[in-house]
């Protein structure tokens, strides 16, 4: 099946080799200006994504977590080119978007699955037409595109003879999300951004779709960026996890080392908010109080200092830089406590995860 589709629409070639990260995001910034008044005078901006840098390696799954409004979805839309980047670079397999890479070329390699399975399907199109639309736009002959669409439907577990001619409202949520995955796959991408793609599904269907995603990743050699607020799901599917708070990356690292040591107090609080499976080990005190601060006017210094229980003066004045955790270069966190020279009284202390156990 893969070979047959290969003749229809080739995946963009691997140009940079395995060592070249698939995506390098460098100091990405996206502010949404707030317009008020008759002539739209600037009255500040929502700092949705501020100075976010990370890489996505070929073949891995990067999980992005954080509470609502932390910039996860905006980051996703920046990665897929649906939102304009205010400043910073997006480098896809060595090619910089806007310089040596056009949006159209980016979309040949990156596709996205959205959270709302119903809103992401055109209600007036059969699901076969929906899946075949993208390849047709890229010049694949209609007949081939439709044949490939039916193959993909079968691949995501929907019998084509039964489902191909259906409309989105005739499908269940899980089935619709399978269609969305097939639609993304039809473009033969190398990277798929899954923005809360399973969050709206019920638990049993969610597990099925997660298994399907894992199978497809192996079969098509895909790379995922998986955005979710469900830490268990992220742990299951991801190789690395990136934690965002108020438009910034606070911690990034491999799943195991992040699970072992939550170096940033926000990460620790986020993990502590996970419901425990053990009734003797209930979460009785809310690990984090209050709402996130206003992203129009974020706190000075470390953006988390207004809610952090370890906050000291230095946190309000100086922005912490990302530093390796326990000397592990793959695991980085931005907290003054990790920096012995920061002036924080707990700086250099063995770790925080003991403090919230």
Partner 1 sequence: MSVTAETTMEIAREEVSGSSRGYWHEVFRRLRRDPVAMACGTLILLLLAAVILAPWLALQDPVTGSMIQRLKPVGTPGHLLGTDELGRDMLSRLVYGGRLTLLLGLLPVLFAFAIGTALGVFAGYVGGIFNTVIMRVVDIFFAFPSILLAIAISGALGAGIVNSLVSLTIVFIPPITRVAESVTASVRSLEYVDAARISGAGPLTVVRVHVLGNVLSPIFVYATSLTSVSMILAAGLSFLGLGVRPPEPEWGLMLNTLRTAIYIDPLIAALPGVMIFLTSLCLNLLSDGLRSAMNVKD
Chain positions contacting partner 1, by CB under 8 A = 80-82, 104, 107-108, 110-112, 114-116, 119-126, 130, 133-134, 137-138, 154-159, 162-163, 165-167, 169-170, 172, 175, 180, 183, 187, 208, 211-212, 215
Q: Per DSSP, which regions of 57-109 are E strands?
A: 61-65, 87-92, 95-96
Residue closer to partner 1, measured from CB, 137 or 273: 137
Query: Which 3 state secondary structure label does DSSP give 41?
Result: strand
Residue closer to partner 1, measured from CB, 77 or 262: 77
**CB 295, CB 308: distance < 8 Å:** no
Q: Checking phi first, is residue 191 left (phi over 0); if not, alpha (psi -120 to 50) or beta?
A: beta
Residue closer to partner 1, measured from CB, 10 or 211: 211
Q: Taking the CA of residue 171 as centre, how many other CA atoms within 13 Å lie in the half-sphere pointing to its CB?
A: 29
CA 281 – CA 274 distance, rounded (Å) = 11
Smallest gap from residue 337 Cβ to partner 1 (A): 40
Smallest gap from residue 213 Cβ to partner 1 (A): 11
Residue closer to partner 1, measured from CB, 191 or 315: 191
Maximum CA pair distance of the chain?
A: 68
Smallest gap from residue 139 Cβ to partner 1 (A): 10
Smallest gap from residue 13 Cβ to partner 1 (A): 17
Smallest gap from residue 289 Cβ to partner 1 (A): 33
Closest among 244, 249, 250, 278 to 264, alpha carbons compared: 250
Residue closer to partner 1, measured from CB, 121 or 252: 121
- Please, is 162 exposed, middle or buried when counting C-beta atoms within 10 Å of its C-beta (0-12, 13-18, 19+)? exposed
Residue closer to partner 1, measured from CB, 126 or 223: 126
CA 237 – CA 211 distance, rounded (Å) = 9
Residue closer to partner 1, measured from CB, 61 or 126: 126
Tokens of 157: 């577990």
Element (H, E) at 341: none
Residue closer to partner 1, measured from CB, 47 or 180: 180
Number of CB atoms found within 10 A of residue 15's CB = 11
Distance of CA 271 to CAs 232, 261, 275, 308, Å?
10, 11, 9, 14
Rounded to an integer, what is the distance from CA 233 to the centroid of its chain? 13
């Amino acid at each position: 099946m893969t070979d047959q589709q290969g003749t229809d629409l080739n995946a963009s070639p691997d140009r940079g080799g395995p060592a070249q990260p698939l995506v390098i995001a460098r100091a990405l910034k996206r502010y949404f200006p707030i317009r008020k008044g008759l002539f739209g005078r600037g009255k500040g901006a929502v700092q949705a994504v501020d100075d976010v840098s990370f890489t996505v390696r070929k073949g891995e799954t990067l999980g992005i977590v954080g509470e609502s409004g932390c910039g996860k979805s905006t980051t996703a839309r920046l990665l897929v080119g649906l939102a304009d980047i205010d400043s910073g670079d997006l480098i896809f397999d060595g090619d910089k978007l806007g310089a040596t890479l056009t949006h159209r070329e980016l979309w040949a390699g990156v596709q996205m699955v959205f959270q709302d399975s119903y809103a992401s399907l055109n209600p007036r199109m059969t699901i076969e037409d929906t899946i075949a639309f993208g390849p047709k736009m890229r010049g694949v002959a209609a007949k081939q595109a439709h044949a490939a669409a039916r193959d993909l439907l079968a691949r995501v577990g929907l019998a084509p003879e039964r489902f191909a001619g259906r409309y989105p409202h005739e499908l269940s949520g899980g089935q619709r999300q399978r269609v969305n995955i097939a639609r993304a796959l039809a473009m033969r991408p190398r990277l798929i951004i899954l923005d809360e793609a399973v969050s709206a599904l019920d638990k049993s269907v969610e597990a099925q779709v997660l298994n399907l995603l894992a199978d497809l990743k192996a079969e098509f050699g895909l790379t995922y960026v998986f955005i979710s607020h469900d830490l268990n799901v992220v742990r299951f599917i991801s190789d690395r996890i990136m934690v965002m708070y108020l438009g910034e990356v606070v911690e990034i690292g491999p799943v195991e080392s992040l699970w072992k040591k939550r170096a940033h107090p926000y990460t620790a609080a986020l993990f502590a908010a996970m419901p425990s499976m053990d009734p003797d080990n209930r979460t009785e005190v809310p690990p984090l109080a209050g709402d996130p601060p206003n992203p129009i006017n974020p706190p000075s210094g470390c953006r988390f200092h207004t809610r952090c229980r370890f906050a000291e003066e230095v946190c309000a004045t100086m922005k912490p830089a990302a530093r390796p955790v326990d000397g592990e270069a793959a695991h980085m966190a931005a907290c003054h406590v990790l920096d012995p020279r920061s002036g924080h009284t707990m700086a250099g202390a063995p770790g925080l995860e003991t403090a919230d156990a």
